[in-house]
Amino acid sequence: MPDDSAPDSLPDSLSEFLDRRLPLYAYLEPLWLGKRVLEIARGTRGAELLKTLGAARVVTSESGGEGLAEHFDVVVVPAADALVRRPGAVAGWHRLLADGGRLVVGVGNGERAGAVGGLGYYELHDALKPHLSVVQMLGVTPFLGVGVVEFEGAVDALRIDSRLVKEPEPPVSYVAIGGPEPVSNLGYALVQLPWTSAAAAPSVPAAMGTAKTQVTGAALTSEQSRQLEDAAAAYERFAAGGKLGKIVLIL
Dump pLDDT digits (tens) for 36-49. 999 999 888 899 99
Model pTM score: 0.75
- What parts of the chain have a pLDDT lower than 50? 1-4, 7-11, 13, 202-220, 235, 238-239, 241-251
Q: Which architecture does CATH list for 12-250?
A: 3-Layer(aba) Sandwich (3.40)
* pLDDT the model gives residue 251: 42
* pLDDT the model gives residue 159: 82
**Rounded to the nearest 5 degrees, what angle is found at the Cα of 165, between the Cα atoms of 222 and 120?**
45
Q: What pairing do the DSSP bridges indicate for beta strands 72-77 and 246-250? A: unpaired
* pLDDT the model gives residue 129: 97
User: Is residue 90 a contact partner of residue 128, using CB atoms and an 8 Å limit?
Assistant: yes
Half-sphere exposure of 107 (CA within 13 A, CB side): 27
User: Is residue 151 a contact partner of residue 104, using CB atoms and an 8 Å limit?
Assistant: no
Q: Residue 177: which of 208, 135, 143 has the closest Cα?
A: 135
* pLDDT the model gives residue 131: 97
- The whole-angstrom separation of Cα 140 and Cα 28 is 13
List Cα–Cα distances, 191 to 3, 17, 31, 38, in angstroms: 21, 12, 16, 23
* pLDDT the model gives residue 208: 42
* pLDDT the model gives residue 154: 72
User: Is residue 2 a contact partner of residue 40, using CB atoms and an 8 Å limit?
Assistant: no
* pLDDT the model gives residue 88: 95
